[in-house]
Structure formats: C-alpha cells, structure tokens
Structure 1
Amino acid sequence: MQDRSARHRSRIATAVLAAVVSLLGVAVLTGCDADRDGTTKGSASGQRHPSARPGPVWDRSPGSVAAVGDSITRGFDACSVLADCPEVSWATGTDSEVRSLAVRLLGESGAAARSWNHAATGARIAQLPEQMALAAKERPDLVTVMIGANDACRDSARIMTPVADFRSSFEAAMRQLRAGAPKAQVYVSSVPDLMRLWQTGRGNALGKQIWKLGICQSMLGDADDMGAQAVARRASVQERVVAYNGVLRDVCAKDLRCRYDGGEVYDYRFTGKQLSQWDWFHPGRNGQARLAEIAYRNVTAARPPA
C-alpha cells in the first residue's frame, strides 16, 4: 500500500512538471514574437507591451538642409546695420568665409540647390510651428533650429515668454514637422548666453549706442547700470535662458531623430572678433563661422553631445 501510494505521487509530480515545462515553453516563444514596430505580443489577451526603446536614428551625412529660427540664422547685422544677410547664415549661407553647415555637408553647389532658410528676424518660439510647417514642405533630410533669444530679449524682463508656453510651442513645432516630414532629422542649437554677450559688448561705445535703439532691452538696457535692480533683471533673463535650453534638450530627447547640441552654443565664449561690428550683440561673419563649426561637428559626430 505504501509503495503504490509513492508510485502514485511520483506520477502526479511527473505530470505537473511536464505541464509547467510546456507552459514555460509557450511563454518563451510568445515573448520572442516581436512585431516589426518594436512591440511584443501578449499571449492570452493579445495586448502589446513595448520593448526596450530603440537607439537613436541618425544619418551623419544628410543630403539637404532646412533652417528655422530667428535673426541669428538670418545673419542679421552681420553685413550691414539693422539688416538681414542670409548669405552668411551659419546654417544655410553660401559665404566662403563662413562655410555654413549646408556648405560643409553638401558643397557650395549643393547648398545653393538643396538648402532653405525659413528663419525670421524677431521670431519667437510661438512662430516656430509655422516655420516648421514650411520646412516640412521641403522634405529636408535635416532641419536646424536656433530659437529662444527673442523670447528672453523683450522690452522688459516681466514679459519674457513663460517657460510652459515655450515648451508647448516647441512641442507643437515638432508635431508640425513630423506631420509633414516624419523622417527628417532635427539639430537643435542651444540659446546663446545673453549675459556673456552683454559682458563682451558693453565695452564698445558704438555698440552700446546701437543697443539703445531697442535691441534686447531686458538684458542690454542701461548697459552700464550695476545697481541691484539692474543686476537682478539681467540675472532673471539669464535664468530664463537656462530654462529654455532645458526645454529644448528635454523635448528633443523624446524624438529619435533629434539631436541637441549639449549646450555648446550657450557655452561658447564669443569675443569682440566674433560679434557684429554694427551692434556688438549678434554674431558677425566670424561668429557665424564658429556656429557653423559647432553644428557640423555635432551633426557629423558618431554620438550626440553629452
């Protein structure tokens, strides 16, 4: 009786073990059945569960370039006073001294035929969705973005673009691009360090006279005033620029085909040699060339900036 009971328990254990092994085999096979879109199929419910997020998709030699942004990308004050000069644009210009990103990527003839500049002097982030929609129509391989300085450069620090609005506008711009050009790559430049530009330019008497015409009053107004109120005003502008750059970085990081410059433009120490001789604030030809160098290095790098 005891032996028969033992044999019975042994048969039950063997059957249970076989069932477990069978179930595990089904689970393993189901878990390996991955869809083409990177998701995996569930077994009984048919629900999909996301797999590990794929790595960034980045072509280091794009064949066309569209630019969006503000006065810096239009080459404002780089050739003559209070005027655009798109031929020296860091992104799409054709000037041989600057050697824009487009020229470095496509050559001079390629840049002339396969690059487009939709930036606008004075543009703020709220205008970026419209610019992105225009850029998407070109079906570019790469879109460059430099925006945000005008959102901080207002007549008063009190009316700078709120950070939440800045974020929603940039997200809307990315949606506009993806609606028309889902595979376009995006290179996002950080907003320049406006405090450093004030520190560099305030030593030039002519530049300060131009500043009085209304350029970036939130930072440049009363340029020699070192009182507590003026210092606090400039600090608030600087803080807002840092916050904008955080938004650009974070929103870009959510898109597999977007690459932020890691704050390299913000960190670049523009000198008088790189600034416009007309306003001592915007990049001149030399400064545009430095921006082009930074962009080309980041676009063609094997990995994005840290």
Structure 2
Amino acid sequence: MLKRNPRVRAVAVVTAAVVGLAGCDAVGGDSPGPTGTPARQAKPSASPSSLWDASPASVAAVGDSITRGFDACGILTDCPEVSWATGASSEVNSLAVRLLGKARAATHSWNYAATGARMADLPGQMARAAARRPGLVTVMAGANDACRASPEAMTPVADFRADFERAMSTLRRTAPSAQVYVASVPNLKRLWSQGRTNPLGKQVWKLGVCPSMLGDADALDSAATLRRATVQRRVEDYNRVLSQVCAKDRRCRFDDGAVYEYRFGTDQLSHWDWFHPSKNGQARLAEIAYRHVTAKAD
C-alpha cells in the first residue's frame, strides 16, 4: 500500500491535470518494448500446429493504455518498461522477455499501443507494427470503446467489428505470416466492484475515469444498475467480436476470455487510479498471454 502523503499528493496532481484516464483521445505509442461467460462462448481459433510457432522471433504490441503500462509506475504517465507485452522489467517478466529472452527482447520487440486508443485507432497502429514484419503481434483493445462519457457514447458493435477486421487486413497485407494473440477486454464491472472499496480510488474516478461504468460509484439505484449492466453487455459483445474475427484467421489466437475472467484484486490495480493494472497486474497479464501463446494447438 502507498503511504498517506503520496496518496494525498496524487489526488492533488490528478485534480490539476486529469483529462480522463480512460476514454480519452490516444496519446503516445511508439516505444521499443524494453526502454462460462459470453466471452468464452466462442472458442479460440484452432490454429494448426504447422501454422503456429510458439517461439516467434520478434513481438510487436498494439492497443491502449494497459499495454503502455499507464499509471503502473507513477501518476498520469505511461510506463512501457512494465508493459505485460514488451516491457523489460524483471517484476513483470513480459511476454516478449519470456518468449525471446531479455537481451533479444531489447532489440526485437516494439510497443505501438497508445494511451486512450480505441478500436478505431488499431488499423493505424497495426500498419506500424506490420512494417516490422514481427513474428507475433499482441492485441489488447476495447476498454476505451466502452469507457465513454455515457453508455450511449460507446462504440457501436458493428463499428468495433469493422475496425478490428480492418486492422487484421492491414496486418495481412504487409505481414501475412505474422501470428496474432488477442486478449479479451477486461471485466469492467469487476474493476468497479474492487476499486469502489477504496476511498481514494472513488475520488480519482470522479475526475473522469471510465464514467460509463465508474461514475457515481456508490450509487446502487435502478438507473445506476442498468447503466453498469449496459456497459458490461457491450464489453461482452466486444469480446464476442474479438473471438469471431480472430477465428477467421488461421494465425490468430484469442485468449478464450481469460483476461475478462481474471479476478483482478486490489493488488493487481494501480494505487494511483484503482483502474489500470499495477505492476503485479501487468505480470498476471503476461502470464496469461504466455500460457496461450505457447499452448499446443488442439
């Protein structure tokens, strides 16, 4: 747990600087790596063993603030060195480090994710990743499509699908043999249930963190319950899209809802905003990814 004084300072800094920790416009995104639910209804794409290499030669990451390590090291700042996908931190032991080794990961992994990115930003990120001709591309996107000012502002499912299909097509035009690991969108309602137990977290949320789910965190009336349920259903719809689109590509693996179903506790949440993964949470995401990337094909 953080000491009291840094927490007080954190609230002051956030109050002065916050423009929305989730559901904002994308910023950043070009760093080398080292410097039973609806989500599970569709099975991961069955990639024949001849097409899936559990030891890719390089890794590129696309997505949003989670892959940038946002708020894992300090307030309102990216920390790509602790990214679950490409970070060099020994506390996280990222997917790239696990697959390539630390020395090779330093020169053969790249992080093109951007804080605040939505699925509409993925085709552009994927174009940059494809230019590297990576052995594996990791995808984690969708939380910001649900984390909007209101449920009505969430990305329509049809648009989400079209943007993801466009991102995959963009990759295939330049890097037809690249493998893709797709992580499910986290369970935002569970993040609400965990973070709302912390007074500081609720104060930070009031400043614009995923308002569609986290707004009025203590409200349990019918309107608030319906709002959260609406957001949760949209997240489940997004995960269904990720699974279905991935299943059409013989070199793509969906995580079968593993990230969505992971029971993030307070130790796995940033103690700056009680929403993004902490270093511990990033390590758990790396474990999940490594398990799915190296699993034998059915």
So what's the TM-score if we normalise by structure 2?
A: 0.83
1:54 CA drift (Å): 8.7
Q: In structure 2, what residue type is equivalent to 1:204?
A: N
1:105 to 86, 99, 116: 99
Identify the structure with bigger relative contact order (alpha carbons < 8 Å, sequence gap 6+): 2
Aligned to 2:204: 210
Identity over aligned residues, as a percent?
A: 69
- Quote the Cα distance in structure 2 between the aligned partners of 1:290 and 1:191: 15
Mapped partners of 2:78, 2:48: distance in 1: 39
* d(CA) in 2 for partners of 1:92, 1:210: 28
Q: CA RMSD in A?
A: 1.2
3-state DSSP of counterpart to 1:73 = helix
CA distance in 1, matches of 2:297, 2:160: 27
Residue identity in the other structure for 2:103: S
Contact 2:47 2:252 in 1 (8 A): no
* 1:91-134 deviation line (CA, Å, top 9, x unaligned): 00000100000000111111111000000000000000000000
Instruction: Give secondary structure in 2 for the equivalent of 1:72.
Output: helix
Q: Give, in angstroms, the shift of residue 88 of structure 1.
A: 0.3
Q: Deviations over 1:144-190 (max 9, x none)?
A: 00000000000111110000000000000000000110000000000
Structure 1 moving runs of 4+ over 4 Å:
none
Cross-structure match for 1:5: none
Asked if 1:273 corresponds to 2:267, the answer is yes
Q: Does 1:230 align with 2:224?
A: yes
1:85 CA drift (Å)? 0.4
Q: Deviations over 1:23-45 (max 9, x none)?
A: xxxxxxxxxxxxxxxxxxxxxxx
Offset at 1:303? 2.4
2:119 to 104, 125, 136: 125
Structure 2: where are the runs of 5+ without partners?
A: 1-45
Residue aligned with 1:66, SS: strand
Aligned residues: 252
How far, CA to CA, are the matches of 1:270 and 1:192 in structure 2? 9
Alpha-carbon contact 2:213-2:227 (below 8 Å) kept: yes
TM-score, normalization: structure 1? 0.81
Q: Indicate the residue corresponding to 1:39 in structure 2.
A: none
Distance 2:233 2:142 in 1: 13
CA displacement 1:248-278 (0-9 Å, x = unmatched): 0000000000000000000000000110010
Whether 2:65 is the aligned partner of 1:58: answer no
Bigger Rg over Cα: 1
Report the counterpart of residue 83 of structure 1 in structure 2. Answer: 77
8 Å Cα contact 2:65/2:116 also seen in 1: yes
> How much has 1:82 moved relative to structure 2?
1.2
Task: Name the counterpart of 1:172.
Answer: 166
